[in-house]
Amino acid sequence: MFRAAVRLSVSGVRSITRTQPGCQTLLASRGYSHGKQETDEEFDARWVTYFNKSDIDAWELRKGMNTLIGYDLVPEPKIVEAALKACRRLNDLASAIRILEAVKDKAGPHKEIYPYLIQELKPTLEELGISTPEELGIDKV
């Protein structure tokens, strides 16, 4: 849902023509018109599976996160949760905090997305002991 909000306002005509108002399943905007279009659920599932790999290594985490942030969307809470758990397996707290900063930055002018994300991630953050950038005071310059 928030991906649609971001896409409608930020992207160009392409995304507006692809989305169907009132419809829950939206089409991922890709460059080609042929071939099967991936649904939002498939996209999310693919990324959750990627980060859930039990023996994920640091490079794969970095590659995954940098690629994900490159997309024109804010990742769903379940993807961020999987990424944070991957950070835990890699004993990397700094990256976990960086991921939270990055998704907040991705939301851009849509200030309501990040609080929603943190609200959804609260159980995971408490379980893993990750402080948000706000708690550490690095959300301001």
Partner 1 sequence: MLRLTAGRVGSLVARRATVALTTSSARMASHGHEVSEIADMSKPMYWDRREIPLPDKRYKDILTPADESLKEKEKGPWGQLSNEEKLALYRLSFCKTYPEMNQSSSEWKTVVAGVLYCIGLTGLVIIWQAAYVSPPAPRTFDAEWQAKQVKRMLDMRVSPIEGFAAKWDYEKGQWK
How many other C-beta atoms are found inside a 10 Å radius of the C-beta of residue 86?
Answer: 25
Of 96-135, binders to partner 1 (CB under 8 A) are 97-99, 101-102, 104-105, 128-131, 133, 135
* Contact pattern for partner 1 over residues 17 through 36, marking x by CB under 8 A: --------------------
Q: Which of 1, 9, 66, 72 binds partner 1 (CB under 8 A)?
A: 66
Among residues 135, 105, 132, 106, which one has the least CA distance to residue 118? 132
Among residues 117, 108, 57, which one has the least CA distance to residue 125? 117
Q: Which residues pair with 27 in a beta bridge?
A: 39
Among residues 82, 54, 21, which one has the least CA distance to residue 5? 21
CB of 70 to partner 1, least distance (A): 6
**Integer-rounded Cα radius of gyration of the chain:** 16
In the complex with partner 1, which residue's Cβ is closer, 9 or 66? 66
Residue 93 contacts partner 1 per CB under 8 A: yes
Give the whole-angstrom CA distance, residue 120 versus residue 125.
10
In the complex with partner 1, which residue's Cβ is closer, 78 or 88? 88
Binding site residues, partner 1, CB under 8 A? 61-62, 65-66, 69-70, 88, 91-95, 97-99, 101-102, 104-105, 128-131, 133, 135-141
